[in-house]
Amino acid sequence: MRALISLLLLMLAAPVHAQTALPPAPFADRQLDDAALERKAKALMETIRCLTCQSQSIADSNASMAGDMRSEIRERIRAGEEPEHIRRWLIERYGDWVSYEPTAAPILWPLWAAPIVLLALGLLLMRGRIKRRPRA
């Protein structure tokens, strides 16, 4: 019974709690002490999309959610997790949309063919031009 009441109280309390301005997550704007780990975390953050802003990575966003994600990434990197593992975890949670990394989702693979196709097309056009050149 007591457990039920406290559960009810908790459910009531949660929205109230969410309304108060939470302090930012511990590592939202705090670098890791180990410079190499911080670089690793930063590189990952630059390829993760801020979900509440427009076309920004979480590495350069003021949104509180981006701050929470930065903190999460820094803590996981500090705990020794690999960046790609964290990315997979984020993609599982938020979908492919969260990652800017074009190697991550198979649906993005055709993008890698684009430069080759375009260059080949252009060269073909150009070759035709120079071949047709009549001698003046």
Partner 1 sequence: MIAEAGLAALWFAAVLALLQLFLVGMGLAGGKGEVLGAVRPVAILQGVLTAGAFVALISLFLRSDMSVLLVATNSHSAKPWLYKFAGTWGNHEGSMLLWVTVMGVAGAAVALFERALKRDAHMATLGAQAAISLGFYAFLLFSSNPFARISPAPADGQGLNPLLQDPGLAFHPPTLYLGYVGLSVAFSFAVGSLLTRQVDAAFARAMRPWVLAAWIMLTLGITAGSYWAYYELGWGGWWFWDPVENASLMPWLAATALLHSVTVLATRDALRAWTVMLAVVAFSMSMVGTFLVRSGILTSVHAFAVDPERGSFILALLALYIGGALALFGWRIGTVREGAPFELVSRETFLVVNNLLLSVILGLVLIGTLYPLMTEAFGHKVSVGAPYFDRIAGPIALILLIVMAAGPLTRWRRDQARAVAGRMLIPAGVALAAVVLVGALAWGRIGLLPYCGLVVALAVGVGSLAPLWKRNLRRTPLFTYGMVIAHLGCAVSLAGMACDSAFTIEKLVAARPGDTIETAGWTLRFQRILPLAGDNWTALQADVIAERNGRAVVIHPQSRFFASPPTTTTEAALLTRWNGQLYVVLGQEADAGRWQMRIWWKPFVTLIWLGGIMIALGGLLALIGRERRGWLMKWRARRAMA
Point out which residues bind partner 1 (CB under 8 A). Answer: 23-24, 29-31, 42, 46-47, 49, 54-57, 59-62, 95-102, 105, 107-108, 111-112, 114-115, 118-119, 122-123, 125-126, 129-130, 132-136
State the amino acid at position 116 in one-letter form: I
Least distance in Å: CB of 15 to partner 1?
A: 21
CB nearer partner 1, residue 25 or residue 76: 25
The residue whose two tokens read 């511990």 is 26
Task: Tell me whether residue 7 or residue 123 sits nearer to partner 1 (CB atom).
Answer: 123
- Which two three-digit tokens encode residue 127? 């070759």
Closest separation in Å from C-beta 6 to partner 1: 28
How far apart, in whole angstroms, are the C-alpha atoms of residue 60 and residue 53?
10
Least distance (Å) between residue 5 CB and partner 1: 32
Q: Compare residues 3 and 113 and give the one whose CB is closer to partner 1.
A: 113
The kind and range of the H/E element at 74 are helix 64-78
Asked if residues 48 and 99 have their Cβ atoms less than 8 Å apart, the reply is yes
CB of 66 to partner 1, least distance (A): 10
Are 74 and 29 a contacting pair, CB within 8 Å?
Answer: no
Q: What is the dihedral of CA 82, 29, 31, 58, to 10 degrees?
A: 40
**With respect to partner 1, which residue has the nearer C-beta, 10 or 118?**
118
